[in-house]
Structure 1
Amino acid sequence: MGVLLVLWGQRLRRDRWQLVSWVVAIGAFALFAAAAVTQTYGNAAARTEILQVAIATPAILMLRGLPRGADQGAFTFFLIYAFLALLAGLMSTFLAVRHTRADEETGGAELVAATPAGRLLPNAATLLHGVAANILVALAVFAGFAAQGLDPQGSLTAGAATGAVGLVFLGVGLLVAQFMGTSRGANGVSAALVVLAYLLRGIGDATGTPGADGTTMTEGPASWFSPIGWGQQTYAYSGNRAWPLLLPLGLAVVCLTAAWLILRHRDTGDSVWGARPGRAAARPGLRSPVALALRLQSGSIIGWALSGMALGLLAGSLGKAVAALDTPGTGITAVMRAMLQAQGISLTQLMVSVIFSMAGVLAAACALQAVIRLRQEEAAGTAELLLAVPVGRVRWLAGYLLLGAAAVVLVIGLAGVGAWAALAGSGDASMPADALWETALAQVPAALIYLAVPALVFVLWPTATIAASWALLALGVVLGIFGGMLGLDQNLRNLSPFTHTPVPQGDATDWSGAWGMLAVAAVTAALAVAAMRRREVGSA
């Protein structure tokens, strides 16, 4: 027991800043969302009107949640819960991989295994660490909601639902770490599963059945394949049901048991999907630094690109179902139709634009990973070996920037291909092909910002590259996509590139934001390349 507590203390020390940041951020989002509802939608009539618009607009349900009434607590849960659960899931997967596969990759796990701790206690300490982290997240969500005067029982249910989702993905992260040979691969697969759970929940909400009162919905079948959807079934503030929490807890136990059994039968540093032996001699195509960069990042680029295509297919496949909702059945649908016609877009175009904004986030993540790979190569010392041959620092950096820009175009392009193929296959003509490609193209400038700015950080402050890159992306998503929901000031929201992404409206489309972001990205990338001429390359 003493050894277990010592190992847990070591994890707490390593994660003291990351853990505090995650818990405080998730609790703050809960607090700000509840405060925004109080300030902006302070009466039941306003909340009822918003819910009716949301139920008539599947694109809103994709990003928000499952409407369960106009009560202030239920309305707040509808707005923010899915995002809180997404954050809890990402926190848990990163934590699990950091203390398992990443430690095995660096050799730290083997050193610990040589002590009386053995091979199993470190994973038990990681499990204890993850459980404690999710309890803190649950308490932070409870405190954030309760501090705004929401019902304590509903706040406790909402906190428990968020923590339960985190526990599921703690188990998922520990299990995936047994299969993948690198921490980068384990993080990528685990994060993709979290995003998949968010999307399945969104599909279930968007395809649900509206209630007779116009403020509630019954979820579609897809929600039952998502741990985040299970958390929504607690009906916090409107039902406060505890039994749905048995589903995520049960799945967490299954994942943890499987991970434990695999760990007992494999060698430290090995993985279920072992790496293939390399070639005795490199292919001729690896003679340039760009080709080497592509070889090192091809797996992650393919993963992000396939994710973009999946989002496009999702957008296109939902198009016909969304178009079917655009009927004169209800007054609120007529109001929505009039608003969209005034802007020159259809309900399908609105939904596709929302889903493509997610593809823009995926492209941005793919872009910044190119810069992160630069830092990883430098920290590992392999960059110095490469630069010992006739390859200059500027050429090395420029090659990764070109590869990152090409990856952005690939992710967005495949998202467009997927949406076009699905819309064409379903016979849905509510979104013209030119509008579809304009919507896809509009996502590129913001994604390029997340290539250029991290590159400048890498050149000027290399040790902060990884943390700053992900922090900038997270901040951009919160301000640009969720800022309105959180009631943030417009001047603050304008700091996010995603705020300035154009929404195609035929000939009335304003592309000034896109051109401005392209200019910022080009200038920032040029500054990074120029500054690289005077920067030393090392492992510090």
Structure 2
Amino acid sequence: MGALWILYRQRLRRDRWQVIVWVLSIGMLALFAVAAIAKTFGDDATRTQVLQLATAAPAILVLRGLPRGPALDSFAFFEIFSFLGVLAGLMNTFMAVRHTRAEEESGRAELISSTAAGRWAPLAATVLHGAVANVLVAVATALGFMAGGLDPAGSLVAGFATGAVGFAFFGVGLLASEFFSTSRGANGISSTLVVVAYLLRGVGDATGQVSPDGTTMTAAWPSWISPIGWGQQTFAYTGNRWWPLLLPLGLWAACTAVVVFIMARRDVGSSVLAGRSGRSDARPWLRGSFSLALRLQQGAIIGWCIGGLATGLLTGSLGSAIQSSITSNPQVSSVLRGMIEAQGISMTQLLVAALFEVAGILAAACGLQTVLRLRQEEVAGTAEPVVAESVGRMRWLGSFLGLGAVSVALVLAFTAVGAWASLAASGDTSGAVDDVWQTALDQLPAALIYLALPALVFVVWPRATIPTGWALLGVGVILGIYGSILGIDQKLRDLSPFTHTPVTTSTGTDWSGGFWMLGIAAVLAALALAAVRRREVGTA
């Protein structure tokens, strides 16, 4: 117990600021969402119209949630819970990998295992640390909803549903750390699974059964294979069901048990999927700084491209399912016809726009991770020998920036290929089939901002690169994608690149914001390249 307590305190001290920021952000987001929804959609009649619009155009539900009635509390849960689940999932996967695979990768785990703590005390301390953090998330979320004036009983269910989603993904992060030999690989696959869970929940919500009045839905089966979907099934404020929380908690327990089973049979530092042995000499093509950057990042780029392709492939199958559900409900069809006539867009165009918002976030994250790799190479001490040769600092940074731009374009291209192929296979003849290429291009400027701005942070303030990079992306998503829901002032929302993403409609595309963002990204990249010549490369 003494070793367990010491290791647990070490984790608390190491993560004190990260946990505080995550927990407070999730709790405050719940509070702000309720306040904004109460202000923007102040009565049941307005909220009923919004829900009928959402069920009439189910593509909206991919980025929202499962409608369960027009009351303020259930409407708030519908609007914000899925995003709270994503935040809880990312927090937990990063935390789990940081205290398991990253520790083994650095060699610290082997040192601790050689002491009286042994092999199991570190794992027990990590599991305890994750459990406490998720309880704090649950409490903070519940208090946020309560402070917004929502029903306390339903707020407790909503809060603990968020915490339970966190538990599930903590177990996923632990299990990923057993399979992959690097923290980068474990983080990549576990965060991808968070996005997959979000999309599965969205598919289940969008293809569910709509009630006759168009204000409630019963989710389809894909929601039942998503931890975020399990949290939604609590029906907070309308049903207050606790039993669905057994599913994410069961996943957490099962993953932990499998981790114990695997750890008992492997050496410290090894993994289920062993990394390939390196060559004694480099291949002929591995002679330039760009090819080195590509070799270091190829696994991550492939992973993000697969995520983009999967997002695109959802378009055709999801569009067919949505069309079928609309056709079977005359009331929904009439509402949808009115909306399409008013906006001059098709159902498929709505769906493509919604899914490409997700693709834009994936592309931005891919570009950001390329810059973060620069900092990881510098801390590991492998960057200094590279720039000490003829490569130089500018060429080294420029190679990663070039690779980041290419990887961003590849993620969007794979998304477009998936969307085009799935729409063509489904027999869709609307103009959106050809629009997918333009829609993919529309996401490029915002994604490049998240390549250039973190690169400048890396040059000016190296130690802040990783936390600042992810914080910038998170804030950008909140302001740009969810800012209208949260009632955030337009001046603040305009700070997010996602707010200015060009939108393709039947009348064309306004690229004025896109050109401005491309210019800003170019200026930021040029400043980073100019400034990197004057700073030292080191491990601090």
Q: In structure 2, what is the Cα distance between the partners aligned to 1:107 and 1:327?
A: 59
Q: Which residue of 2 aligns with 1:304?
A: 304
The CA distance in 1 between the partners of 2:57 and 2:461, in whole Å, is: 44
* 1:223-279 C-alpha deviation (Å, 9 max, x unpaired): 111111111111100010111111111111111100011111111111111111111
Counterpart of 1:497 in structure 2 is: 497
**Corresponding residue for 2:79?**
79
Alignment of 1:202-221 (within 5 A): 202-221=202-221
CA distances 1:449-497 after superposition (whole Å, capped 9, x unpaired): 0011011111111111111111100010000001111111111111000
How do 1:35-184 residues align onto structure 2 when only pairs under 5 Å count? Answer: 35-184=35-184
Q: Write the distance in 1 (CA, Å) between the matches of 2:479 and 2:165.
A: 24
Aligned partners of 2:361 and 2:105: how far apart in 1?
Answer: 28
CA contact (8 A) 1:323 1:430 kept: no
Q: Which amino acid aligns with 1:496?
A: S
C-alpha contact 1:316 1:352 (8 A) present in aligned 2: no
Q: Kindly indicate whether residue 349 of structure 2 is the aligned counterpart of residue 349 of structure 1.
A: yes
8 A Cα contact 1:96 1:174, kept in partner = yes
SS in 2 for 1:318: helix
The superposition leaves residues 282-338 of structure 1 with CA deviations (integer Å, 9 ceiling, x where unpaired) of 110101010011001000000001100110011232223334456595456444434
Structure 1: distance between partners of 2:299 and 2:259: 24
CA contact (8 A) 1:480 1:498 kept: yes
Check conservation: 2:207, 2:325, Cα contact below 8 A.
no
2:67 is paired with a residue of what secondary structure? coil
Residue deviations 1:125-174, cap 9 Å, x none?
A: 00000000000000001100011111111000111111111111111111
> Cα distance, 1:80 vs. partner?
0.8
Instruction: Please say if residues 56 and 325 of structure 1, whose CA atoms lie closer than 8 Å, have aligned partners that are also in contact.
Output: no
* Paired AA for residue 528 in structure 2: A
Could you tell me how far apart the structure 1 residues matched to 2:291 and 2:374 are? 14
Query: Residue deviations 1:25-74, cap 9 Å, x none?
Result: 00011101111121122211111111111111112111111111112111
Pair 1:402-2:389 in alignment: no
Identity %: 62
Aligned partner of residue 240 in structure 1, secondary structure: coil
Letter in 2 for 1:208: G
Partners of 2:352 and 2:432 within 8 A in 1: no
Q: d(CA) in 2 for partners of 1:385 and 1:341? A: 62
Distance (Å, rounded) in 2 between the aligned partners of 1:325 and 1:258? 40
Provide the C-alpha distance between the structure 1 equivalents of 2:323 and 2:234, rounded to a whole number of angstroms.
31
Amino acid at match of 2:514: A
CA contact (8 A) 1:439 1:504 kept: yes
Q: CA deviation at 1:203?
A: 0.4
**Is 1:181–1:270's contact at 8 Å kept on the other side of the alignment?**
yes
* Number of the residue aligned with 1:24: 24
Contact 2:181 2:273 (8 Å CA) reproduced: yes
- Please name the residue that 2:390 is paired with: 390
Shift of 1:2: 2.1
Equivalent in the alignment of 2:279: 279
Q: How far is the alpha carbon of 1:525 from its aligned partner?
A: 0.7
Find the counterpart in structure 1 of residue 516 from structure 2: 516
State the TM-score, normalized to the length of structure 1.
Answer: 0.98
Structure 2 distance, partners of 1:141, 1:151, is 13
User: 246-255 or 15-24: which moved more?
Assistant: 246-255
Counterparts of 1:180-195 in structure 2, within 5 Å, are 180-195=180-195
- Cα deviation, 1:196-220, whole Å, max 9, x if unaligned, reads 1111111000000001232111110
The separation in 2 between residues aligned to 1:329 and 1:431, in whole angstroms, is 24
Counterpart Cα distance in 2 of 1:331 and 1:377: 58
Q: 1:349 to 1:521 in 2, by over 3 A?
A: same
Kept in 2: contact 1:315–1:351 (CA 8 A): yes
Contact (CA 8 Å) 2:424, 2:433: kept in 1 or not?
no
Are 2:485 and 1:471 equivalent residues in the alignment? no
* Residue equivalent to 1:480: 480
Measure the CA separation in 1 of the matches of 2:167 and 2:16.
19
Moved more, 375-384 or 177-186: 375-384
CA positional deviation for 1:18: 0.1
Q: Is the 8 A contact 1:210 1:216 kept in 2?
A: yes
Alpha-carbon distance between aligned partners in 1 of 2:485 and 2:308, rounded to the nearest angstrom = 25
Structure 2 letter corresponding to 1:377: E
Supply the AA of the counterpart residue of 1:214. G
Unmatched runs of 5 consecutive residues or more in structure 2: none
Q: Distance in 2 between matches of 1:327 and 1:492?
A: 40
Deviation (angstroms), 1:506: 3.5
How far off its partner does 1:12 sit?
0.3
Are 2:367 and 2:405, in contact at CA under 8 Å, matched by a contact in 1? Answer: yes
TM-superposition CA deviations, 1:90-130 (whole Å, max 9, x none): 11111111000001111111111122111111100000000
CA distance in 2, matches of 1:458, 1:267: 36
Q: Is contact 1:301-1:366 (8 Å) kept?
A: yes
The runs of 5 or more residues in structure 1 that have no matched partner are none
CA distance in 1, matches of 2:3, 2:522: 53
Does structure 1 conserve the Cα–Cα contact (< 8 Å) formed by 2:420 and 2:434?
no
- Larger mean Cα displacement after TM superposition, 291-300 or 427-436: 427-436
Which residue in the other structure is 2:459 paired with?
459
Instruction: Find the aligned partners of 2:234 and 2:483 in 1 and give their Cα distance.
Output: 26
Give the length in aligned residue pairs: 540
Given that 1:323 and 1:348 are in contact with CA atoms closer than 8 Å, whether structure 2 keeps it comes out as: no
Q: Compute the RMSD of aligned alpha carbons.
A: 1.4
Give me the whole-angstrom Cα distance separating, in 2, the residues matched to 1:363 and 1:418.
Answer: 15
Q: Which shifted more, 292-301 or 69-78?
A: 69-78
Query: C-alpha separation between the residues in 2 aligned to 1:192 and 1:315?
Result: 18
2:479–2:496 CA contact under 8 A, matched in 1: yes
Please tell me whether the aligned partners of residues 52 and 335 of structure 2 are also in contact (alpha carbons under 8 angstroms): no
Structure 1 residues 502 and 333: CA distance shift in structure 2, 3 A: farther
Do the aligned residues in 2 keep the contact of 1:209 with 1:218 (CA within 8 Å)? yes
Using the alignment, how far apart are the partners of 1:349 and 1:369 within structure 2? 30
Aligned position for 2:411: 411
Say whether the 8 Å CA contact 1:33–1:76 is kept in structure 2.
Answer: yes
**Distance across 1 between alignment mates of 2:91 and 2:366:** 19
**Distance between the aligned counterparts of 2:427 and 2:333, measured in 1?**
23
Tell which deviates more after alignment, 133-142 or 308-317: 308-317
Which deviates more, 387-396 or 408-417?
A: 387-396
Q: Deviations over 1:337-384 (max 9, x none)?
A: 344344432111011111001101000000011111111111111111
Which whole-Å CA distance do the structure 1 matches of 2:492 and 2:224 have between them? 37
TM-score, normalised to structure 2, is: 0.98
Cα gap change, 1:490 to 1:147, in 2 (>3 Å): same
Q: How far is 1:434 from its partner?
A: 3.3
Distance 1:432 1:9 in 2: 55
Identify the residue that residue 230 of structure 1 maps to in structure 2: 230
Residues in 2 aligned to 1:333 and 1:42: alpha-carbon distance in whole angstroms: 26
Q: Which moved more, 1:468-477 or 1:245-254?
A: 245-254
Q: Which amino acid aligns with 2:295?
A: R
1:416 and 1:440 in contact (8 A); partners too = yes
